[in-house]
Structure 1
Amino acid sequence: MREGEKANVKAFEEAAPVRRPAATGMPAVRLVVADDHPVVRFGVKNMLMSEPGFEIVAEAEDGEEAITQTLEHEPDVLLLDLQMPRLPGLEAMRAIMSKSPRVKIILLTSTISTQQIIEALQIGARGIVLKESVAGDLTESIRAVTSGDYWIGGERVVNLLQALHGLMAKAAAVPERKTFGLTPRELEVVQCIVEGCSNKDIAKQFIISEETVKRHLSNTFDKTGVSTRLELALFAISHKLVAPID
């Protein structure tokens, strides 16, 4: 964690006391919060703890830790960032669903494609909440999924099959950009390569280790069939995988 982030989190913790869930006659919803940004984790945790009926039992800062904490604490709900270091959110969700299918997973994300929504729901996600809508949607989405429904597109969904049919029709009408199976984080790394960044620069930008950067590059080379950074940059530009460089 960067020094500035540590200071911000410490300042927030000192300024905002944690309130425990009030007694409501019903067991509190037990949650694990998994996001690689500590300020986001604290904000979500503080918001939920200010409401009655929620209990944060653990936190995680990467995909692998999300799996470990979820399997250890067996929460009712896992709030999982889609773009996580070490293991992307969808891959972490696959691992969790194979071992603990009871947990209800709500994905938190800044952006998500229609195809990713379909894939997430097929894996077992119960909800998708955009981070820009967390303040207004999060508590309602948790209550929706714990009652057996889904939360998609900012609203409660009862009939998942009907929602999936609608999403698939939308995906067919607007073809998704071909990404060769690259994850959102791998596409971000490719963008950095095109911009001429070193592994150290990329690691610093995304707050991950250089070993993780090397792993992303190795996966990207395998998926695109290239073997050097230059070939990857040329491949990315020719296939419009990255934003144009000014």
Structure 2
Amino acid sequence: MNQAVKKSNEAPLGLASIRIVVADDHPVVRFGVKNMLMSEPGFEVVGEAEDGDVAITQTLELEPDILLLDLAMPRLPGLEAMRAIMSRSPRVKIILLTGTISTQQIIEALQIGARGIILKDSVAGDLSQALRAVLSGDYWIGGERVVNLLRALRELMEKAAAIPERKTYGLTPRELEVTTCIVEGCSNKDIARQFTISEETVKRHLSNVFDKTGVSTRLELALFAIAHKLVALDS
């Protein structure tokens, strides 16, 4: 059975496999993405990373063709990791994986050098097409292939100007999720279980949130989040 799996993942005769590093703090996401790639001929997962620092190290050491990078990574957020990688290894093509992303973050990611953005909800349907689009020299944005990046950026900037982004005080998508959990009264253990991360990682997220919002307790954070509409409250 193992031989059959390996065979299905081999590149067509005479072509080298596309080498990929998968960086996401969720082991389940990494496992799922690897399985999807194994079912596609010509793709090879050569490395994994569970946080932004490891993503940088793995990418610089392994020099993959493509890095699939979670936007909300522990220790170093995806956009910061991408900046570090692009300054030292601009050849790698980076596709962001994310649960949610604002228009402004899409613009920033593309300006730094991202070649694609895939929402995790649609990764099963989009991953293969996105990889092939990026490998052919195009981009993948909003669930479709984009050939003209300048036009796409212009449209995104017009959209961002027309619809002001909600103020988030610099919180990452994961930090906003943790903030929502705090408002709902979750403990660190509850949050760790919900997002399949360690309690130490939860504490690190909370420390970052406290620094960015200027609060010092969970109660102050909950009140701040409600007052500044950082969380959506059920009516």
Q: TM-score, normalised by structure 2?
A: 0.89
Residues of 1 paired with 2:152 and 2:50: CA distance? 31
The DSSP-based 3-state class of the residue aligned with 2:47 is strand
RMSD: 2.2
Name the counterpart of 2:127. Answer: 138
Task: Give the partner amino acid of 1:157.
Answer: V
Do structure 1's residue 62 and structure 2's residue 62 form an aligned pair?
no
Shift of 1:214: 2.6
The within-5 A match list for 1:28-177 is 28-177=17-166
8 A Cα contact 1:63 1:86, kept in partner: yes
Residues of 2 paired with 1:154 and 1:112: CA distance? 13
Query: Alpha carbons of 1:223 and 1:38: their partners in 2 closer, same or farther (altered >3 Å)?
Result: closer
User: Post-superposition, which runs of at least 4 consecutive aligned residues in structure 1 deviate over 4 A?
Assistant: none
8 A Cα contact 2:72 2:174, kept in partner: yes
Query: Alpha carbons of 1:86 and 1:206: their partners in 2 closer, same or farther (altered >3 Å)?
Result: farther
Do structure 1's residue 228 and structure 2's residue 194 form an aligned pair?
no
Residues of 2 paired with 1:79 and 1:184: CA distance? 17
The DSSP-based 3-state class of the residue aligned with 1:192 is helix
Query: Alpha carbons of 1:208 and 1:51: their partners in 2 closer, same or farther (altered >3 Å)?
Result: closer
Task: Give the partner amino acid of 1:68.
Answer: T
Shift of 1:245: 5.5
Corresponding pairs, count: 233
Query: Alpha carbons of 1:209 and 1:46: their partners in 2 closer, same or farther (altered >3 Å)?
Result: closer
Task: Give the partner amino acid of 1:111.
Answer: T
Name the counterpart of 1:198. Answer: 187
Residues of 2 paired with 1:229 and 1:132: CA distance? 30
Q: Which runs of 5+ in 1 are unaligned?
A: 1-12
Identity of aligned residues (%): 81
Residues of 2 paired with 1:185 and 1:154: CA distance? 22
